[in-house]
Structure 1
Amino acid sequence: MSKLEVSLDHARLVIGLQGQQLGLARTAELDPDTGVVVQLNLETRWQRIAIPWRRVTFLPERDVFQLTRSGGNGRPYSP
């Protein structure tokens, strides 16, 4: 499956399960056939990690992405 990398409108903080700061998300990968986000790209000082979208929740009240243990809470990313 090919993917299309897209830039977010601005860098957003990514936090862990306990709320710890992990790094920033500046880009995501889309499925070009459906336009659906398939992964979020987490950037730290040392590496770039592709996180499956189903493991991420967007918290609009804090404007951050948070990792989840299960399938997220179903909130779509909408800045």
Structure 2
Amino acid sequence: MVQAALQYERQRRGLGGVFLDEIARIERHVSDAPGLYQLVEAPIRRATLRRFPFGLFYLEELDRIVVLACLDLRRDPQMIGVTVARR
């Protein structure tokens, strides 16, 4: 996430902060309604960011949400699955 934020910041001043703000927004939303987002492969879910081509992959546990990865969705979908599965 930090690398992506830095890359966006190089593209346009302030865009890296907007990216991090969007991640914080989606984390809050996932925390409030974890079952709302797409079940990618049980028990892993994915919440997509609004302005950026990234997905937040997470698990819902009894008393917490475990974020596995925040990945660029433009990558090969099979590689995303491999990356998340190895975490």
- TM-score by length of structure 1 reads 0.39
Richer in helix (by share)? 2
What is the TM-score normalised by the length of structure 2? 0.36
Counting strand residues as a fraction of each chain, which structure ranks higher?
1
Q: Which is bigger in relative contact order (C-alpha 8 A, separation at least 6)? A: 1
